[in-house]
Structure 1
Amino acid sequence: MQLYQFEKIYSQMEREFGKIRKGEEETYAMLLLPMEGNVLKIHREFPESNSRRLREAIALALFDIKGNYSREKYDTDNFRNKENERLEKALLMAFDPYTNNEIMELVKEQFQMDILSQEQVKEYYKFPVMCLLRIKESIDTWEKRSGSDGYFDFIEGYMGKEIKGNDMNFSIMSSGVLDM
């Protein structure tokens, strides 16, 4: 995979899933906040996992998601490093049933099934993808305004006092999300 293919994932996923418009973030707060809190915890412990690495982590997470619903394998190894992998896992721990076993159990219990169809998996990821794309847009904005770590400076000021400990938080969507 070339760099331009790697970076195209943002626009591909936006076309496929849509995006959160500025001012509509509150609607998605139950999912955005665990994602942002998780990456802030990682950044505090590992400052080298910075905004640039978070942008890469979002692309990696989007490829993980696309692989889960398409059942295709994407070779992203050339773009992985320990700094962005930490952030990728922190993002995925907030919503991904294939990364976080607790979420998988809750999803199975909530929807009373062992395996979700490809279409159900894709529908499950709609809001997480939109949230990831919103975070990426926020990174771009804050880096332009405040420099290379502007996003984490913003998040620290916005919600830093509320984020404590090292445990990864998560959120799942309610049963109305998947059409069965």
Structure 2
Amino acid sequence: ARGRILFEGEDVTNLAPNQLVARGIVQVPEGRAILTTMTVLENLELGAYRRGLKNVASDLEYVFNLFPRLKERISGMAGNLSGGEQQMLAIGRALMAKPRLLLLDEPSMGLAPIVVQEIFRSLRAINADGLTLFLVEQNVRQALKIAQQGYVLENGAMALTGTGRELLGHPRVLEAYLGA
């Protein structure tokens, strides 16, 4: 496949991850990729590595307001967190980089339904605070509920596009993804 990825008019197709972060593009990868032998606080501080200590305290408060369980476990080892808490930590660490675009790959994978709802509530709040989210998600119903714009890919090609609400009601989406 060929193509280019443009972000704010700049071709970022071949940039290294650290160059993407410098431009405000941060990813929360599938599988979370937290540092299990570090504390919750250390993981969060690591997210702000490009910024030094400037505004870290207020950014930590923002993350803790989104995910109060992380504050309760601030000194604990990240490897001792539940899967849902690890996902919260991965999102929180990404937010500490102060992104302008947050890429999330399967944030609900392997999580209990109640935790999935909590994660998506937080994503909705993050977006309402002005951060652009780009979400790849198998949980179609949850993803489209929060999506302003959605794209359905089939065999690597764009098959449908529309608002989240439009796609939730689209017959092909209902049949293929929502079992209606």
TM tier, smaller: under 0.3
Which one has the bigger strand percentage?
A: 2
- TM-score with structure 2 length normalisation? 0.28
Point out the structure with max Rg over C-alpha: 2
TM-score by length of 1: 0.28
Q: Which has the higher contact order (CA 8 A, sep 6+)?
A: 1
Between Structure 1 and Structure 2, the one with more helix by share is 1
